[in-house]
Homo-oligomer: A and B are copies of this chain.
Amino acid sequence: MADLNAQPLSGDPAARVLVAGASGFTGALAAELVWRHPRLRLVAATSRGDAGTPLARLYPRYRAQIELTELDLDRLEGIDAAIVAYPHGAAAPTVAALRAAGVLVVDLSADFRLRDAATYERWYGEHGAPQLFGAGVYGLTELYRDQLRGAELVATPGCYPTASVLALAPLAERGLLTGVSISAMQGTSGYGRSSDDLVHFSAMTENAFPYKTEGHRHRPEIEQELVALGSPTPVTFVPHLLPLDQGEMATCFARLAEPLDRDALTALYRGRYAGEPFVRVLDRPPNLRAVRETNECHIYVTAEEHGGAVAFAAIDNIWKGASGQGVQNLNLMLGLDETEGLV
């Protein structure tokens, strides 16, 4: 791998980036964000099923001028970094091959997010690269920024954990959380591009529903992070699908070890996120349109009469909830400014 920071090529100081799995919603956005990025160069966007198709044919609103190709793991020379947008389970072997070739990897799948192997196996089955299990840094930037600088493998969090944990972190860090029920809502881009009766326009318009009510894979990820922050607490998590494309809301009902009024909660949140480039603590409830196609997370917190709190976080599920945060982390890995290419 070229040592980007030590010796940029004159005339092309950009890191050379591969996006694997660029035909899906998050992979295509990752390719587009790399394409637009002033310090990154998109050298390949791969897809098994759509090789030979220009990316802009699949996603007419994107500007990246690149044809999808098949991934060739034997020809990685000159690649500095890769963003891998494969399904859970399928990502690990490719990530391992890329790392073996010295390529920095931002993985968008769940394969390197969990720290407990048994939990991984329960929810996802056998791991595809056990030698690397636990080797990734969890890419929730606002929590792990120091470890992300210079990291070589980053596991970008799921969209639901990103919103939920950002909504709860100020409470969890103080050990205040004693119980959480999360009602999360997401647009159909979170369901993936794979066509399905459920997300046919005719089925989804004028509709909304909860799904995976008996256990969503993102719940253990949320619990893992709340424990890491200092509040081991049971989490109830219910996701809903909404009739919109991009956008996600996490409405978090928090039981607290001690009551806090709205002003105290607001002060706690504003203090925690002061200086964060992508997190805004609002003085009114957030909405999805305001964060659409941005890497921002809009947070609002209020107190309940009976002593609890309700915290809301709104993100674009494929930006801050996937590819935007992936690029945010890649910036840190490469020693660039965290916001580069994202504002």
Interface residues of A (CB under 8 A from B): 25, 58, 60-61, 181, 183, 185, 187-189, 193, 195-197, 199-211, 213-215, 234, 236, 238, 240, 242-247, 249, 251, 253, 262, 285-290, 292, 300, 302, 304-306, 308, 310, 312, 314
Measured between beta carbons, the chain B residues less than 8 angstroms from A310 are 213, 236, 238
Determine whether the beta carbon of A201 is less than 8 Å from that of B243.
yes
Measured between beta carbons, the chain B residues less than 8 angstroms from A251 are 183, 210, 238, 240
Determine whether the beta carbon of A200 is less than 8 Å from that of B202.
no
A260 to chain B, nearest CB (A): 15
Determine whether the beta carbon of A206 is less than 8 Å from that of B289.
yes
**Contact flag A245-B288 (CB < 8 Å), given A234-B305, A236-B308, A300-B213:** no
Determine whether the beta carbon of B287 is less than 8 Å from that of A201.
no
Determine whether the beta carbon of A204 is less than 8 Å from that of B206.
no
Determine whether the beta carbon of B306 is less than 8 Å from that of A206.
no
Residue of B nearest to A284 (CB): B213
A-B contact list, 11 entries, CB within 8 Å:
A58-B197, A185-B208, A187-B202, A188-B202, A199-B201, A199-B202, A201-B204, A206-B292, A207-B287, A210-B286, A236-B304
Determine whether the beta carbon of A289 is less than 8 Å from that of B203.
yes
A334 to chain B, nearest CB (A): 25
Measured between beta carbons, the chain B residues less than 8 angstroms from A290 are 60-61
A183 to chain B, nearest CB (A): 3
Query: How far apart are the CA atoms of A292 and B201 in the complex, in Å?
Result: 16
A233 to chain B, nearest CB (A): 9
Determine whether the beta carbon of B202 is less than 8 Å from that of A195.
no
Q: How many copies of the chain does the oligomer comprise?
A: 4
Query: How far apart are the CA atoms of A202 and B317 in the complex, in Å?
Result: 13
Determine whether the beta carbon of A287 is less than 8 Å from that of B209.
yes
Determine whether the beta carbon of A200 is less than 8 Å from that of B203.
no
Measured between beta carbons, the chain B residues less than 8 angstroms from A285 are 209-211, 213
Query: How far apart are the CA atoms of A305 and B304 in the complex, in Å?
Result: 25
Determine whether the beta carbon of A312 is less than 8 Å from that of B58.
no
Query: How far apart are the CA atoms of A300 and B212 in the complex, in Å?
Result: 13
Measured between beta carbons, the chain B residues less than 8 angstroms from A193 are 197, 200, 202
Measured between beta carbons, the chain B residues less than 8 angstroms from A247 are 206-208
Inter-chain pairs besides A195-B195, A206-B206, A208-B249, 7 sampled, C-beta below 8 Å: A185-B185, A185-B240, A205-B205, A205-B243, A207-B244, A207-B247, A210-B251
Which residue from B189, B207, B306 sits with its C-beta under 8 Å from A234? B306
Determine whether the beta carbon of B208 is less than 8 Å from that of A206.
no
Determine whether the beta carbon of B244 is less than 8 Å from that of A287.
no
Which are the 8 A-B pairs with shortest beta-carbon distances? Answer: A183-B183, A195-B195, A60-B290, A209-B287, A234-B306, A181-B253, A188-B201, A201-B204
Query: How far apart are the CA atoms of A215 and B285 in the complex, in Å?
Result: 13
**Contact flag A201-B205 (CB < 8 Å), given A240-B251, A243-B244, A289-B61:** yes
A335 to chain B, nearest CB (A): 26
